Amino acid sequence: MGERVFVYLASVMFLCICTASGSLRGVVPSGTESVESLARRASANQVEINIKDKVTLKQKTITIGNISTVTGDNVELVKKISNIEIGRTPWPNNFRKIGVYFLKMRLKTSNIKLSDIIFNGARAVTISVEATRITGAEIVQKAREHLLSVLPVVDRETTIELERMPGVQWVAEKRDEIVLDVSLVDSNKDRGNIELIVSARSNSVPFFKTSVVFKVRVFENIAIAKKQIRRHQRLTKENIFLGKRETTRTHGLSFSSMDDLTGKVAVRTIRANTIITEKIVETPPTIQRGNVVKLFIEANNFSIVTKGLAQETGRTGEVIRVRNLNSKKIIYGKVVGPESVQIIF
């Protein structure tokens, strides 16, 4: 039995050697593929994956073709292997490593025969993402420029102090493709702690938003009480002067001209060196309720004048109710002077 096995194996080896040398081409049984044919077919399906050592990519899904050079005679197979996805790029300022073992696993799950694959090059590839470092100073500068463009600058002195430096931001794009936008949280605020939001985008894709807070101090030339002013006392140059004061925390509108205070009186007692604001002064009524007034109409080159009794208090330009003393009817009129009301139809 042992001798027969030995003879059989020897015969097979002889056939293989002879076939390889071409001396027994006619001896190969009909219907049996030659060794040369098998070798050619195996070579046609063979693909070489030459793994790169390092790659830097745009933010995307990674394919085998991104991290290696894939070559072979079978164009369709090369294309299929090149397009096999193996994960996402890492976050900016980070890296990811992918080795041969992981690639073999992805090839197997994609129904690729590992016997057809030859791996060359590095044993693992280090992947980083194309990214730009946006410093806190750059973010602050962008926010400051926007703030200066919207703050009032007439008749005032303004100082701007940064409350806190924002951190560094990484954006997965080239610098010239990144746009920084700035917006005010409260567009009506022009002093005190003002917050702005700086955001980054590229091709309409948002990346980050960060807050920047500035402390804005305002100094203005404004009206100030020269001495104590009693309630209902009229404001004049005798008791008011213009001086520079910080108005950052001043509540209400202040006055930068003496003309703005003409005819106004104190609502309450005002202490010396107090900033004059709209909340502590008022324009006294031109007509008091119960006053006898002159009612008049002017239209089409004629005028009618009669007497009336004010039914409510009013200032110049306001419309009040007035009783016509002749007809006893209640009508409406516009206050035009201390004793004059123009009838409104």
Q: What is the CA radius of gyration of the chain?
A: 46
pLDDT at 63 (0 to 100): 97
Q: For position 14, what pLDDT does the model report?
A: 43
Of 283, 281, 278, the closest CA to residue 229 belongs to: 281
Q: How far apart are CA 202 and CA 6, in angstroms?
A: 75
Q: What is the 3-state secondary structure (H, E, C) of 20-53?
A: HHCCCHHHCCCCCCCHHHHHHHHHHHCEEEEECC
- Pairing status of strand 179-184 against strand 265-266: unpaired
Q: How far is CA 146 from the centre of its chain?
A: 13
Residues in the chain with pLDDT values less than 50: 1-12, 14-30, 35, 38-39
pLDDT digits 0-9 by tens, 232-268: 999 999 999 999 999 999 888 899 999 999 889 999 9
Residue 33: predicted pLDDT: 53
pTM, 2 dp: 0.63
User: What is the spatial distance between Cα 214 and Cα 156, in angstroms, rounded to a whole number?
Assistant: 18
d(CA 59, CA 39): 42
What pLDDT does 45 receive?
Answer: 76
* Ordered domains of the chain (ranges, CATH): 1-32 (no CATH), 39-129 (2.60.480.10), 140-214 (no CATH), 292-344 (2.30.30.760)
Largest CA distance in the chain: 151
